[in-house]
Every structure is written in structure tokens, then in C-alpha cells.
Amino acid sequence: MKFGLRYCNTGDYVDPAKAVELAQAGEAAGFESIWTVEHTVVPGGYGSTYPYAAGGKMAGGNDAVPLPDPLIWMAYVAAATKRVKLATGIMILPQHNPVVVAKQVATLDHLSGGRVLLGIGVGWLKEEFAALGVPFEDRGRRTDEYMKALRELWGAEKPSFEGEFVRFKDAYCRPQPVNGHVPLIVGGHSVAAAKRAGKLGDGFFPARGAPQDLFDIARTAAREAGRDPDKLEFTVSLPDKLEDIPALAAMGVKRVLVPVTPMGGLSAVVKTPDDALKWRDTIARYGGQG
């Protein structure tokens, strides 16, 4: 079992000094990864329903919560760390030009020594898509195609792609990722997200809970696509009881994410860098599970 911290570019850790302090403390405590979250803009008074809260609104209290760009935040703390992986959980992929994303992510992976995990999702905030001038209705198809385009740009000698939304030929995109690719972890809590993870992703992160039915759907989708379902890595949020972690390992979960701020979806467990260091015992106890 691996442990990560989420969502590290929120709350107190918008402050650059505290961001570095958290990342370094997490690394020292043995956390495998630090995870960020993305919203380019949050239109005031949005009407879209946030799917991970009963009230339909994001945590934070208002629409003007500071939320740094995840890749830039990750690049900043990468320079102050050596081992901890740098993850998005998630980047709203259909809102971005995938060719630019490929360049940015591969550059960060190159500079950090191969430490990037790219969590992606389709998004839910319709008003944000409108502000960015991106169609909301076709975001699922865009995400599927963009994932394929990213893999082509990262892995091919002469990347070429012909799709509905993306087209390029012999488009050299250098540097390429250190390990030949960056793991693509699909976020979401729907059947479509689980199928996307199985068909196209390296992992699945349902954000809330550990839904066995969605894990099964992801594995089935991987098998039907001719992929090895056992290579699909499941990431979940911290359960209410630490004693439940072995049961998660038995389900095939490989990574548990611990919240560092209320925006993580639970009451903050890691409120200070010292709290991160106190997690050493927990990581030692459960790190061998699964």
C-alpha cells in the first residue's frame, strides 16, 4: 500500500513557504505522492452540481478560494524535493490543448526525474467550460481522444495523430517522459469513468469511497480492450477508520490519499507538516499491505 497527500495546492499550502514545508515533510515521512486539484476559474454563483458533496457545492466557503495552477505548483515544490511523486487529482483534460499538456507534463517529468502522475477527468462545472470557450457536451469524447494523443506524443519517435479534435503529423515533442510515458490515472465516480480507466488509463481514482462495482467495471473494460486488468492501479481517499485499510488492500487498492485541508473532502487529518511526520507509524504499519 502506498500513501499520498491531497489536495496540496489548497488552503494554507497556497503559501509558497508552507507548500515547500508540506512537500518536504511528506517526503520525509514516507508519503509516496502529493496530489493537486484544478479549476482554472470558478464562475461566481455557479449552478452546476458538485458531485462529491451533499450540498452540491465545493468546499471552501465561496467561489473565490485561491487555487494555484497544479502544474506550476508541482514544478515549484519539485525543485525542493527529491523522491516524492507529483500528481494531479485531477486535471480537467478536455479544457486543455492536449499538445500543450503533453509538452508541459513531459517537461516537468524530465526536470523532476520521472516523478509525475497525471490524474485526469472530464469535469463537471459547465460554467467553467463556458468561460474557457470549450464545449461541455463533448467533454467525454475529447478526454478519450486527448489521452490517446498524449500517449502518442510521449511515446512515438515521430508522433502523428488523426482524430476528431486533434490532428498532427511528425510532431516532435521533446523532451519525452523519463520512463517513456507518464501514468494516466482516470478520476471520476461514474460508470463512464471506470470504463475509461480500464480502456485507456493506467489507474482509477474514484475520489470518494472504494466502489467495488466500479473497480469491477474498470477491470472488465481493461480485459475487453485486451489489456491486463491486474496492471490497473486503484487509488482511493482515506477511509474513516484506519482499520479498514487492510480490507482496501484485499480489494486491490494500491494507494490511499490523506487529506491535508478541508477541500480534500474530509476533516483535515494532516493540518501541519509535523502531522505529516507523525504518519510514519501508519505508513510503516500498512505500507506492506497489498
Is residue 243 a contact partner of residue 214, using CB atoms and an 8 Å limit? no
Regions of the chain where pLDDT drops below 70: 60-62, 264-268, 288-290
Using alpha carbons only, give the angle 105, 92, 111 rounded to the nearest 5 degrees: 15
User: Residue 289: what pLDDT?
Assistant: 53
Dump strand ranges (E) for the chain.
Answer: 2-6, 33-36, 85-92, 116-121, 161-162, 167-168, 184-187, 203-205, 233-237, 253-259
The Cα–Cα gap between 124 and 246 comes to 32
In tens, the pLDDT along 225-245 reads: 999 999 999 999 999 888 999
User: Residue 290: what pLDDT?
Assistant: 39
User: Residue 197: what pLDDT?
Assistant: 98
3-state secondary structure at position 287: coil
Report the phi/psi class of residue 85: left, alpha or beta, with left for phi > 0 and alpha for psi in -120 to 50: beta
Q: Give me the domain span that covers residue 193.
A: 2-261+269-286
What CATH number does the domain containing 149 carry? 3.20.20.30
Alpha helices of 156-239 — where are they, by DSSP H?
Answer: 191-200, 212-224
Please give the tally of structural domains in the chain: 1
User: Residue 60: what pLDDT?
Assistant: 67
Report pTM. Answer: 0.95
In tens, the pLDDT along 68-119 reads: 999 999 999 999 999 999 999 999 999 999 999 999 999 999 999 999 999 9
